[in-house]
Amino acid sequence: MHASRRKLTRELFPQLTERSRKGISVGFLRIHHLYYLGRKRQLASLRNLHLLLLRGWIAKIEDSFSSLVSKKQPVCLVATEGNSLIASILIKPNNRRGTCWSISFPKIYNTPEYNTLREIKLRLIKYSLDVKMSNINNWILKYPIDSLEELSILRELGFQPQDIISVWSSNKINLNDNDESLEERNSFTWEQVTRDNSEDLWRLENSGQSIQLRSIIDSKPLDIAELSVKLTRILYLHSLRKSVVIAAIIQQNFPDDINTLRVIRNLAWDERLKYALPSIIKTITIKNSSLTVECDSKDDHLRHLFKLIGLEEINQKILLSKSNLKRSEKKLSLTKYSSLGTMLDTLNPPNIPIPSP
């Protein structure tokens, strides 16, 4: 009976059924989406989405009690074409209040039959900006500088460039011992982040960010204490008078960067970092060879030090942001037709040559 009805529907309304097959559907990850992958035996992706489905449920609970609990869990959004799961994207809170969220790079599972991948990525990223979660005001993301299609979509959606980040691999790191003296070794210590010292790291991180970026990320010292993970370290330099923070290694909280360490330092270069940084980077990366290390692409001191250690520069990423809040400061005049070169030229400070793909 049901089969005859479906056959009659296809005969009487061929255009309607064709349209439903061609249409792109975007929304939250649901249980029936897992069935789409299960039919094609994509078991690795299926296991990952099972976990993301559970974490998405927890994220909704966090949102329902936003005044009582911190927001930590990511939410998975998917795009389908008919009964085929085409792509997914992960959005994740960047602070415990959930005012700033980050967006992952689109993950592709299948090739669409009726639509272009660009259209699907556009719909997926655009949908993420309209997600109905409380308190979301700002968005931030890091995409590879050579992902031209995705960057074109982000320009179209109003994202603005903030920084260029240099990405380094630890696969060929030099494991030889350093030549630092005992005196140098005792003048600094690496400490894990706690509620007591989180403000020190918060101040150091803010000192290297523009006012606009700080307002978009909207982080507080407590955010660093709660969202930081075990590999984050603060470097203290000890003297007779006091101890000061001169650098830090921060394990990233972006959806794609859980195996990435960001190295930041004081604006003034301290020569003693030549002794302190190599030892901690080697100690951490020996235990996990899949880790990558990041620094500001304009920081020639760190880049030179990374080369001495044996790190290999493998890519660059562009940090972009978007705010839903109306701001009084002058906005960058970028349009969806702006080239990638124009986009990079707007970075602050200006007039510094930025490599383009």
Same fold, 18-136 and 167-345: yes
Which one is predicted more confidently, 79 or 66?
79
Q: Is the peptide bond before 255 cis (omega within 30 degrees of 0)?
A: no
Residue percentage of the chain with pLDDT more than 90: 42
State whether residue 219 is helix, strand or coil.
coil
37-53 per-position pLDDT tens digit = 766 666 677 888 888 89
Contact call for residues 174 and 310 (beta carbons, < 8 A) = yes
Where b means 16+ CB within 10 Å and e means fewer, 231-259 reads bbbbbbbeeeeeeebbbbbbbbbbbbbee
- Check whether 70 has a pLDDT greater than 60: yes
Measure the CA–CA gap between 258 and 168, rounded to whole angstroms: 15
- Check whether 105 has a pLDDT greater than 60: yes
Residue percentage of the chain with pLDDT more than 70: 79
CATH architecture of the domain formed by 18-136: 3-Layer(aba) Sandwich (3.40)
Q: If you average pLDDT over residues 31-38, what whole number do you get?
A: 81
**pLDDT confidence of residue 28:** 94
Each domain of the chain, given as residue ranges in start order, spans: 18-136, 167-345
- Check whether 204 has a pLDDT greater than 50: yes
Residue written as token pair 């994202």: 159
Measure the CA–CA gap between 158 and 323, rounded to whole angstroms: 9
**pLDDT confidence of residue 15:** 39
Contact call for residues 77 and 27 (beta carbons, < 8 A) = yes
**pLDDT confidence of residue 19:** 42
Enter the DSSP assignment of 204: H
123-178 per-position pLDDT tens digit = 999 999 998 777 888 999 999 999 999 999 999 999 999 999 999 998 777 766 55
Q: Which CATH class is domain 167-345?
A: alpha beta
pTM as predicted: 0.80
**pLDDT confidence of residue 33:** 87
State whether residue 255 is helix, strand or coil.
coil
Q: If you average pLDDT over residues 247-252, what whole number do you get?
A: 92
301-341 per-position pLDDT tens digit = 999 999 988 899 999 999 999 998 754 344 444 555 556 65
